[in-house]
Structure 1
Amino acid sequence: MRRRHLLAAAALAPAAARAQGWVPDRPVTVVNPFSPGGFTDGFGRGIALHLQRLLGQPFVFDYRPGAGATLGAQHVARAAPDGHTLLYSPTTAWVVSPHLYRNPGYDPATSFAPIAAISATPMVLTAKAGSPFRDVPGLLAAAKGRPGALSYASAGAGSLPHLMGTFFASLAGLALTHVPYRGGAPAMNDLLAGHVDLMFEAVPNVAQHVAAGRAIALMTSGAARTPLLPGVPTVAEAGFPDLDLTSWIGLAAPAGTPAPAITALNAAVETALAAEDTQAAMLRLGMAKLGGPPGAMAARIAREGEVYRRIIAGAGITAE
């Protein structure tokens, strides 16, 4: 029966995957180092369904939240390098937490075999609806006239909104007051209620509030304006090109995973990203397609890791 099961699974896999010399022979565990919910989780489940269809085995999400994504990352780093345990994570696990923790328990450059950077989501500098300023020049004038008086919310110390707020303040020469929350939802709620002045947040979590007049979008990261907020300038257009940091998603296996497995998984991700439903989801969420070879993800980790290392070290931020 076991042999018949394996033969059936192999028959489901496309010829392209079999040609790479590898297909999974049992369900693949996809570790998400965050709790269920949110747009990245739902998007990842859609990608997993495509991988399941393409490679002939279930791709099952396993949630291991905690310690800034390091618990889930450690689990995958220590897993058998056979292509059956993968790490699916946004920016935090790849380029942030390794510099926040003295001993994160893994090295993103050596503990994983990158498969693909999947997509990137712009971050939006958002202001409360009652702000006296409506654009970045107005914000700069208001902040410089009242050092420390303007506040910015974040999902917690060391979160991407915190680091982007810190980086922006440094680049602009501003004194802003950081207000950390236990998660992005309560931070956004307090921004909408007018209790804090500013917040960096991912575009799908902001666009509806801007459209309804509950918040003001000042600028977005990303190489081009997001279709969800087409009237909002990019950080480069607003005069802060170095602030072009996005929330991107990557998929990787443990270091030492055989090259044929990485090649087959990368090819399956590329096919999944080209699917009509995936394209529609990215458009709806304001995501930009990344994809490309595994080396592109490795280069992104190296490049952005150095940026976040400088931000974290310069501000003396630590998670411990």
Structure 2
Amino acid sequence: MKSDLLRNPAKMLLGGLSIALSMVGGAAGAAPAGYPNGPITMVIPWPPGGAADFMGRVVAARMSEKLGQPVVIENRPGADTIIATRRVAAARPDGYTLFLASSNNAVNATLHPDTESGFLQEFVPIINIGVAPTVLVVNASFPARTVPELLELLKKGKPNAYTYAYSGQGSASHVSAIQFTRRTGLEIMGVSYKGASPATVDLLGGHVNMMFNVVPAIAGHVRDGKLYPLFALSDKRLASLPDVPTSAEVGFPELKAGMWHGLAAPAGTPAGVVQKIEATVAEILKEPAVVEKMESQGAIILGSDARAFHQTIVRDTQMYKELFGAGGAAR
């Protein structure tokens, strides 16, 4: 006996469309009446002080005001963002637990295939907030003050005689360093940290020599003269560091890296909830005060909607598969 769907092709078509839309817009259904009627938790997979924490707190503060409920930040760093990812993936899909996803979630499909191969099966993208370009900075006592001086110093030294910090495998700082060493053919020893903030502390202390770091983590130290920027991996000069040359200006136009940060929710979150959060954050990202605050810290606002954000994750997942080999080794 044929099922109702097989006897009704139109119904079958609508059913398939509903499933497809749920992949980028959450499970079918409107937001529950009165949503939100309690606190929302935004889980950030990095420690306080980095670009992710900065972006998340700026958005969370305005969400609290616009939604009339507190949006509480929960920092869950560690394990290349896996600790936080697992925490949110297991949460109830009701819109009260959100995840500040990042480029790491695209690369983890390759670095940690056993547990992280299905981000888009476990999460619903909501909105891509922005991207934080990286800047190569050195400790103020480091002898090189320009890229040519750095290259000469590294070429004269023994392989791995100098060190660079990075905030976990697959992070923007890691990818930037891989691109730089591969482009220059230089061997520099990488030292991994749980986030940009602890890495910056060791860079300031002279325990590592250099780092490709995001602007929010270094801007104050650059202004205070404790860190020195050599170049930014960006298409144009950053408003927050206008005197720092771009990668193209120092002879590496192909070097471009930055980490995007966007909101996601556990799979199965009602589409109405996803749409309400997306619309709320989209409005926030257009506010002049928010734009000024973000740009002052080197962030570039994107505001990409759920569908565009979904496409970004798909594209970057493939890009990182091509960049990294098994076990996280760069190809």
Q: Do they superpose with TM above 0.5? A: yes
1:59 aligns with 2:39: no
Q: Secondary structure at the match of 1:53?
A: helix
Stretches of structure 1 that go unaligned for 5 or more consecutive residues are: 1-19
Deviation at 1:251, TM superposition (A): 0.2
What are structure 2's unaligned runs of at least 5 residues? 1-28
Does residue 140 of the first structure (1) align with residue 129 of the second (2)?
no
Question: Is 2:111 the counterpart of 1:103?
Answer: no
> Residue 5 of structure 1 corresponds to which residue in structure 2?
none
Q: Determine if the alignment matches structure 1 residue 228 to structure 2 residue 244.
A: no
The one-letter amino acid paired with 2:223 is A
Check conservation: 1:158, 1:317, Cα contact below 8 A: no
The Cα of 1:269 is off from its aligned counterpart by 0.6
The answer to whether the 8 A contact 1:116-1:252 is kept is yes
With over 3 angstroms needed to count, the CA separation of the structure-2 counterparts of 1:193 and 1:281, relative to structure 1, is same
User: Structure 1 residues 150, 99: CA separation in 2 closer, same or farther (over 3 Å shift)?
Assistant: same
C-alpha distance 266-223 of structure 1, shift in aligned 2 (>3 A): farther
Counterpart-to-counterpart distance in 1, 2:323 and 2:52: 24
Do structure 1's residue 24 and structure 2's residue 35 form an aligned pair? yes
Aligned-partner SS, 1:137: helix
**Partner letter of residue 107 of structure 2?**
V
Aligned residues: 298
Q: Secondary structure at the match of 1:126?
A: strand
What residue identity is the alignment partner of 2:192? P
1:122/1:286 contact within 8 Å kept: yes
Who is 2:9 aligned against? none
Residues 264-279 of structure 1: pairs in structure 2 closer than 5 A: 264-279=276-291
Match of 1:216 in 2: 228
2:76 counterpart of 1:76: no
Deviation at 1:114, TM superposition (A): 0.7
Q: Give the partner amino acid of 1:290.
A: L
Identical aligned pairs, as a percentage? 37
2:176 alignment counterpart: 164
1:219–1:267 distance in 2 versus 1, CA, 3 Å? same
Name 2:20's counterpart in structure 1.
none
Q: Show the counterpart of 2:123.
A: 112
Q: State the shift of 1:223 in Å.
A: 2.8
Query: SS of 1:289's equivalent?
Result: strand
Cα distance between partner residues in 2 of 1:270 and 1:281 = 16
Which residue among 128, 141, 144 is the counterpart of 2:139? 128
Counterpart AA for 1:121: A
Normalised TM-score (structure 2): 0.78
Contact map agreement 1:79 1:254 (CA 8 A) in 2: yes
Counterpart CA distance in 2 for 1:125 and 1:173 is 17
Partner of 2:3 in structure 1? none
Comparing 209-218 with 260-269, greater Cα deviation is found at: 209-218
| Cα distance in 2, alignment partners of residues 100 and 52 from structure 1 | 35
Matched with 2:319 is 307
Deviations 1:161-217 (A, max 9, x none): 233212210122211122334654453344334443321111122223333333321
Q: Is the 8 A contact 1:47 1:269 kept in 2?
A: yes
Cα distance in structure 2, aligned partners of 1:95 and 1:256: 20
Stretch of structure 1 that moved more, 158-167 or 277-286: 158-167
The amino acid that maps onto 1:192 is L
Question: Within 5 Å, which residues of 2 pair with 1:231-246?
Answer: 231-246=243-258
CA distance in 1, matches of 2:169, 2:132: 21
SS of the residue corresponding to residue 203 of structure 2 reads helix
In 2: Cα distance, 1:212 partner to 1:29 partner: 34
Closer/same/farther in 2, CA of residues 39 and 144 from structure 1, 3 Å limit: closer
SS at match of 1:270: helix
> Partners in 2 of 1:90 and 1:105 — Cα distance?
13
- C-alpha distance in 1 between matches for 2:46 and 2:99: 11
